[in-house]
Amino acid sequence: MKPRHGLRPLSGQAAGIGPDARTVEAEARLRRAWDFIVGPHLADRTCLLTFRRGMLTIGCWDVTMIGSLRQAAEGAWPQVQARLLEALRLRATSVQVLPCDPPAPEAKPEPQGPLTFDLLLDRLQGAGRRHRRS
């Protein structure tokens, strides 16, 4: 794709393009390091919503904490900025705390009984039948 010169709309969706690859990759790195960036106490109640144009947008599903979290974010902002720059090489200029839905619970696999020889043999024979050519 050839770079376009001139004015571009502020909204990438209006032009049919989404966030650039660097932004997507930066958000992915930030999500993986979320516990380190905000600390374990806040990581249990918050999540990264977006990181665009230097603005870190944090979601909090504990609505009673949002006010105190905003104050704490302002007070700890220099440390968070330093962690972002040092660990992830991301320059953050501002932080925003918004209410959000809690994350969906992880699906737990159903416990299986002990694998007996007969059950294993049945599985192997069934797999062999599926892969045979007629």
Ordered per-residue pLDDT tens for the chain, 134 residues? 555 666 655 555 444 456 677 778 888 888 888 888 888 878 888 899 988 888 889 999 888 888 888 888 888 888 888 888 888 888 888 888 899 988 887 766 665 667 777 777 777 776 555 555 44
Q: What's residue 90's pLDDT?
A: 86
Burial category of 32 from C-beta neighbours within 10 Å (exposed 0-12, middle 13-18, buried 19 and up): exposed
Query: How does 95-131 read in b/e, with b if 16+ C-beta sit within 10 Å?
Result: bebeebeeeeeeeeeeeeeeeeeeeeeeeeeeeeeee
Q: Do 37 and 83 contact (CB within 8 A), yes or no? A: yes
pLDDT at residue 134, as a whole number: 47
17-103 has which CATH code?
3.30.300
pTM: 0.61
The predicted pLDDT at position 123 comes to 74
Q: Please list the residues that pair with 46 across neighbouring strands.
A: 60
3-class DSSP state for residue 1? coil
pLDDT of residue 17: 56
The predicted pLDDT at position 89 comes to 85
